[in-house]
Structure 1
Amino acid sequence: MSKRASLTHDSPALELELPLLAPQERSQRRRSGSGTIPLCIMHDTGKPSPTNTKPTSPTIPPTQQAARPQSPAAAADPADDEDETDVIGDLMGHYGKWQLLMTVLLSLFQVPNTFHISSSVYQAANKDFWCQRPPQLQQMPVDVWRNLSGSTDNCHRRDGIDWSRLSNETTSQWELPQDGNGKLVACENWEYETHDNVGNTWTSEWDLVCDKEHLKQVAEMFFLLGVATGGIISGYLSDKFGRKTMLFISAVLQTIFGLWLYICSSFELYLTLRALLGLVSVSVTYSGLILAIEYVDGKWRTIAGMYNLFPLPISYMIISGLAYLTQDYQRLQLCIGLPGIFLCFLWFVVPESPRWLLVKGRIDEVRRIIEAAAKFNGRQLPADYQLTPPTQESSSQDFTYLFRSSYLRRISICFLCIWFTMNLVYYGIILNMSSFGGNVYLNSALAGLVEIPAIALAMYIITKVGKKWLFCATLICAGVACCCAAITEGRADLLWLKITFLMMGKFTISAGNTIMPVYTAELYPTPIRNVGVGACNVAAGLALILTPYLSLLNKIEDHLLMTLLTAWSIFGGVVVLFLPETAVRSKASNSTPGQGSAPHPNASAAKQV
């Protein structure tokens, strides 16, 4: 392959070919030597990277926020890593001991995020309850009390009965007094099962039963509403104020809100704090991920962004153990809020993104970071190296650009459906573990365990082959697994088989969740990648808001929840078939420019920040 001319940051302009049209149309325009779009050395947005693309949330979702390569070809061919390098990476090393240490430290911020988004599985767990017994009947068996009080639904009891005439000592046959009028009145207070391995939850703390049962879903929804809102605005704030600044401001607020929830006794205030916690948690995820992938260069951007996901499954397993040991929503909240205190001290260790600083013209700070990183990596710096802030240009792309051509309309509609589907199914499984039967602690730990090989396998495969058919297979297989779990629903003797199918579904949907952000970034053109992924965030946020209410489907019909997840998974897999495959550029085509067309004179690789 002929050596491409690399451009320095003081170059006046650069033209990059961008896939604004369908792949077939682009190839024709390349052969004719037209169809290039002038860009400055930086992105048209003036922001520091291909890595400044808005990733999605939560809890939240973090599993959707992998590094974004510049083009399908750049991501597919390791020989083209040079396309993605810049002067900062050339000076301090594209990936070394310094980058490894920093990115590992930043991945730790995913731990409290995962704790908070999955805590509702245990804190909002259902409990067995019944109308409160009179003080003198506390020793009466619960089943007898339910029959005696006529409380078949545990929400109403017989009215007009003088319960003081009964006592544990004087009544032996628990006969119903004859002065009742047969009417039922709503219970005012309830008692809860204490030996259910669930402990004190939102249900028992605020009597979220009967006509107030829906408030549990509201509490979960408030957190996810904050995540959805934060996913839209966190990218702008991170670009404006800096990755490190936003990361640690959000981490401090996350810690404050998390510990405040521990001492909160008002349910209304609890809802507000949950929403604020979701808002800052997604900002922690976004800023930490972008900071991590802006520390590295070349192909390491994608890899660093994806191994940032590994703390998620480990955190799922840890919180299941903490919930089992505490069995109290307040003590669990204290345990998941405390780690944020220690992470805040990383302010003195983690530097700002040198690429963001260079865009802002803060050259002295960039030099200090480069010199420290190069020394840690054992690299010698040139004595006279120069750093020039890149020229910034304004960008006017908006949501309408996603529908300007048939190619963009197709991938935009497809990705809106896919991101909604992926979030609905992924979090529909995670956040409803307590509804599937069996031991909720064991089920959640297993769900985290199977995600580790899923992420690792997906990371390996997508660097070797195209993503379309693999992505489609993960969704279809998840749908098949959910369908099999639905078939076994309601059969206690097949509970082990149902859980097995659920874990298979969790494995495949986790692999798909790893592929999705990378695939999305590769198909969107560089100038509108922020807009495209931002629109996908909206669809993902809508799915997150709906997720807490999925558990109510089982109250309508036992098979309804798993049937719905099955339908959406298969729908998502079918939609993937309408997407183009990512290009895998052959080395032969790069090394033989004379076969059919000459290389475009401006097709040289840009050393971008």
Structure 2
Amino acid sequence: MRRERVEGPPSHVSPLSPTPSPRCPWPAAASRRRLLVLACLPALLLGLETGSAPLLTAQPRLECVNGSRDHPRQQQTPGRGFPTILPNPRGIPPLAAAAATTNSSDKCRCNSWDFYLHNGLVRNIVTQWSLVCNSSWKVHIAKFSLLVGLIFGYLVSGCLADWVGRQLVLVVSVLFVLVFGLTLALSVNVTMFITLRFFEGFSLAGVFLSLYVARIEIAQSNQRFMITMVAGFIAMGGQLLTPGLAALCRNWQVLQTVIICPFIFMIPYWCIFPESLSWLLATHQSHAAKDLLLDYARKHQQEPEEDVKEFLSELEKEPPVKAQKVFILKLLSTRILWKHILVLCVTSRPGFGVHNCFIKSLMDHEGDTLANFYAHYYTMEVVGILSCVVMCFLVSLMGRRGTLLVFTIVTALASLLQLGLISNLAPYLQQPFSLVFSLIGLFSSHSMGNLSIFICAELTPTVMRAGGLGLVLASAGFGQLTAPIMELHNQKGYFLHHVVFACCTVICIICILLLPESGGRELPVSLEDADVYPRRHLLTSRRSARSLLSHTELKSYSGLASHPPHRDTPSPTVNGHSPTANGPSPTANGPSAIVNGPSANVNGPSANVNGPSPTANGPSADANGSSADVNGPSADVNGPT
């Protein structure tokens, strides 16, 4: 008999685990909601920090006050100075500042400048330290330092979260954000700003990653995606509020202080936000899990439920085992998991990298309407919000993998059409078509990058979830690095960057087919669970396929239900030939034609009965185990034929 593979959630107990841990029913509904609220609220602060990043380095409009009078008016378009500090909820790369007009020494003969910002601030780091002309490259280094800090922060904090726990990494990262963020507001020169910006990005990466993992591990399987999207919407709400907050603060130092100070309220998370129970059980820290449950019930003055009491009794029976923590290098010894992580890294990098190319293309053709800072800022935010809304709808309809494939195909088409079609159109059609393709590319690439990160969090096992997620986030950060690199070289190589990312996006279409569908499944716990994660066909329905007929009905209609076991007896023959009728097979809708006599052998002419159509009202005719085909009506004989 052929054995069919049953697709179901990966086991919570690894077959190679020395002491399997029972599945914990905690936290309860009320406790789970409380923890999810605590894990989603800090997204507002992260959104404010994300939105403030481009304001600090926005290029102002310049006007010479003292110096050569023949110096032309230097004007630069204000833009989004930083890419977002977090790949989730969305990265908004900077607009390329028109710094080429200030890099030439013959145009920079002015001794002092008047700066005019159009983003709500009166002063930022560019105006405070006059980072124009020959010093304009320092602005791009400041952007570069933030992204490099984020990349290293994702890698280091991910490994530490799998080794020492999510709670400790979260609290320590919050403390570092307070220290480096407040010190950043007191910077006395641009060198100090660049250095502190690196460490601030390093700390913010730890906060974002630990909260992202906590939400995934606390939420139920049918709520993980929606909880992640809720946190993303909260973060984008913070980004929408940032320009208004900047207009109230007027100074970048005041704005930085106002955004960082609320992180003080996250210090009590050491007491009110417990360690991940899933991680404790996955690493076989049973006694720590038991203490966590009892301590949580005591702090909230709750009596443990019956299933929790049974769970505690099972924990007490387990022998003490050394904690089995997994380092990220263990990923190389897996059979399939490393391929999934590699595919998601390849997908997230062009997802965020090509986003910068669409922003640059949008800036080149945006005209007077989008040249305004607020119009451009809120256009990007609205595109991100609509992208998340459509992504929620498609995920519920097509699943994670199908939605990722659709957005990847759309991103690749938008990139290829913009690179190869725009130049061949009539001049009056180039600008509108380029604008449309840029908006479509922004829309799809945003969802492509974010969904890659989310799928990684679901496919990576609990013992290595933070480390695997850190790899994908770091890969996304490398994609964002293209923006300051292109700005540093005065946009030289922009077309080549777009071509490379477009080709990578096309390759991602094939790679996504190697990923399994993670929707509606329990999270894998061990490396062995992740290696046996089932992969369904892309066109298979999310619900298990169900036959139109039951097994009993199939047997009845096929005649298998009434067949006795076949015996090795010779078939009835007529002059050496099978007595089959000149018509179709004698099948019918009634009882079987049974001959209760010996084998129907006729040693004469062909047994041909003149009757109606050779179709009897029964399934296949059975003569003591041999076929007895008759050319007449129902063949019911009580003796030899």
TM norm. shorter chain > 0.5: yes
Tell me the CA shift for residue 544 of structure 1.
Answer: 3.4
Which residue of structure 1 lines up, in the alignment, with residue 159 of structure 2? 236
CA distance in 2, matches of 1:423, 1:506: 10
Which residue of structure 1 lines up, in the alignment, with residue 113 of structure 2? 191
Cα shift readout 1:332-383 (whole Å, capped 9, x = no counterpart) = 323322322334355554333334455532223322325777959x966666
267, 281, 287: which is aligned to 2:190? 267
Amino acid at match of 1:571: C
Which residue of structure 1 lines up, in the alignment, with residue 344 of structure 2? 415
Which residue of structure 1 lines up, in the alignment, with residue 544 of structure 2? 586
Amino acid at match of 1:586: S
Tell me the CA shift for residue 273 of structure 1.
Answer: 0.8
Rate the CA distance shift 1:211–1:310 in 2: closer, same or farther, 3 A: same
Q: Give the 5 Å matches for 1:143-542.
A: 143=72, 187=109, 189-194=111-116, 196-197=118-119, 199-356=122-279, 359-360=284-285, 361-362=287-288, 363-370=290-297, 375=302, 385-386=311-312, 388=315, 394=324, 411=340, 413-426=342-355, 438-481=371-414, 487=422, 502-520=438-456, 533=469, 535-542=471-478
| Worse-superposed segment, 451-460 or 202-211 | 451-460
1:120 aligns to 2:78 (yes or no)? no
Structure 1 SS opposite 2:232: coil
Amino acid at match of 2:312: Q
Rate the CA distance shift 1:550–1:212 in 2: closer, same or farther, 3 A: same
Cα shift readout 1:473-505 (whole Å, capped 9, x = no counterpart) = 21333355567878599x999989866654443
Instruction: Write 1 or 2 for the structure with the bigger share of helix.
Output: 1
8 Å CA contact 1:44, 1:395 repeated in 2? no
8 Å CA contact 1:475, 1:509 repeated in 2? yes
CA distance in 1, matches of 2:204, 2:359: 18
CA distance in 2, matches of 1:356, 1:400: 17
CA distance in 2, matches of 1:255, 1:480: 43
Number of aligned pairs? 484
The one of the two structures with greater contact order (alpha-carbon pairs below 8 A, sep at least 6) is: 1
Rate the CA distance shift 1:297–1:477 in 2: closer, same or farther, 3 A: closer
CA distance in 1, matches of 2:330, 2:280: 31
Tell me the CA shift for residue 252 of structure 1.
Answer: 2.4
Amino acid at match of 2:56: Q
Structure 1 SS opposite 2:312: coil
Cα shift readout 1:451-481 (whole Å, capped 9, x = no counterpart) = 2342243234324424444323213333555
CA distance in 2, matches of 1:101, 1:432: 44
Rate the CA distance shift 1:450–1:210 in 2: closer, same or farther, 3 A: same
8 Å CA contact 2:146, 2:197 repeated in 1? yes
CA distance in 2, matches of 1:155, 1:384: 72
524, 528, 549: which is aligned to 2:485? 549
Q: Give ranges in structure 2 of 5+ residues lacking alignment.
A: 76-99, 518-535, 537-541, 553-641
Rate the CA distance shift 1:475–1:254 in 2: closer, same or farther, 3 A: same
Rate the CA distance shift 1:189–1:470 in 2: closer, same or farther, 3 A: same
Cα shift readout 1:126-164 (whole Å, capped 9, x = no counterpart) = 123355515xx9xx7974899xxxxx955678xxxxxxx
8 Å CA contact 1:414, 1:576 repeated in 2? no
8 Å CA contact 1:481, 1:504 repeated in 2? yes
8 Å CA contact 2:354, 2:502 repeated in 1? yes
8 Å CA contact 1:92, 1:379 repeated in 2? no
CA distance in 1, matches of 2:20, 2:254: 42
Higher radius of gyration, 1 or 2:
2
Which residue of structure 2 lines up, in the alignment, with residue 599 of structure 1? none
8 Å CA contact 1:129, 1:190 repeated in 2? no
Tell me the CA shift for residue 393 of structure 1.
Answer: 6.9
Report % sequence identity: 20
TM-score, length of structure 1 as denominator length: 0.65
Structure 1 SS opposite 2:122: coil
Cα shift readout 1:160-217 (whole Å, capped 9, x = no counterpart) = xxxxxxxxxxxxxxxxxxxxxxxx6964733033364563232222222222212111
Q: Give the 5 Å matches for 1:35-74.
A: 41=13
Q: Give ranges in structure 1 of 5+ residues lacking alignment.
A: 1-27, 50-85, 147-151, 158-183, 595-609
Amino acid at match of 1:425: V
8 Å CA contact 1:123, 1:328 repeated in 2? no
8 Å CA contact 1:155, 1:210 repeated in 2? yes
CA distance in 2, matches of 1:352, 1:529: 15
8 Å CA contact 1:224, 1:541 repeated in 2? yes
CA distance in 2, matches of 1:185, 1:209: 11
CA distance in 1, matches of 2:27, 2:301: 4
Cα shift readout 1:306-325 (whole Å, capped 9, x = no counterpart) = 43322222122112333344
Structure 2 SS opposite 1:189: strand
Rate the CA distance shift 1:265–1:403 in 2: closer, same or farther, 3 A: same
Amino acid at match of 1:282: A
Amino acid at match of 2:410: C
CA distance in 2, matches of 1:32, 1:97: 37
- Name the Cα RMSD after superposition: 4.8
Rate the CA distance shift 1:385–1:193 in 2: closer, same or farther, 3 A: closer
CA distance in 2, matches of 1:496, 1:510: 21
Which residue of structure 1 lines up, in the alignment, with residue 577 of structure 2? none
8 Å CA contact 1:323, 1:332 repeated in 2? yes
Rate the CA distance shift 1:271–1:527 in 2: closer, same or farther, 3 A: closer
Rate the CA distance shift 1:535–1:286 in 2: closer, same or farther, 3 A: closer
8 Å CA contact 2:155, 2:470 repeated in 1? yes
8 Å CA contact 1:250, 1:284 repeated in 2? yes
Rate the CA distance shift 1:205–1:372 in 2: closer, same or farther, 3 A: same
CA distance in 2, matches of 1:128, 1:506: 27
Tell me the CA shift for residue 280 of structure 1.
Answer: 0.7
8 Å CA contact 2:216, 2:457 repeated in 1? no
8 Å CA contact 1:468, 1:576 repeated in 2? no
Amino acid at match of 1:365: L
8 Å CA contact 2:356, 2:480 repeated in 1? yes
Structure 2 SS opposite 1:192: strand
Amino acid at match of 1:353: S
Cα shift readout 1:259-292 (whole Å, capped 9, x = no counterpart) = 2222212211111110110111011011122223
Tell me the CA shift for residue 255 of structure 1.
Answer: 2.3
Cα shift readout 1:62-95 (whole Å, capped 9, x = no counterpart) = xxxxxxxxxxxxxxxxxxxxxxxx743x2543xx
Rate the CA distance shift 1:347–1:570 in 2: closer, same or farther, 3 A: same
Cα shift readout 1:384-427 (whole Å, capped 9, x = no counterpart) = 6525187567477865865976x678655543321211232346
Structure 2 SS opposite 1:515: helix
Which residue of structure 1 lines up, in the alignment, with residue 81 of structure 2? none
CA distance in 1, matches of 2:20, 2:388: 28
CA distance in 2, matches of 1:324, 1:483: 40
Rate the CA distance shift 1:384–1:398 in 2: closer, same or farther, 3 A: closer
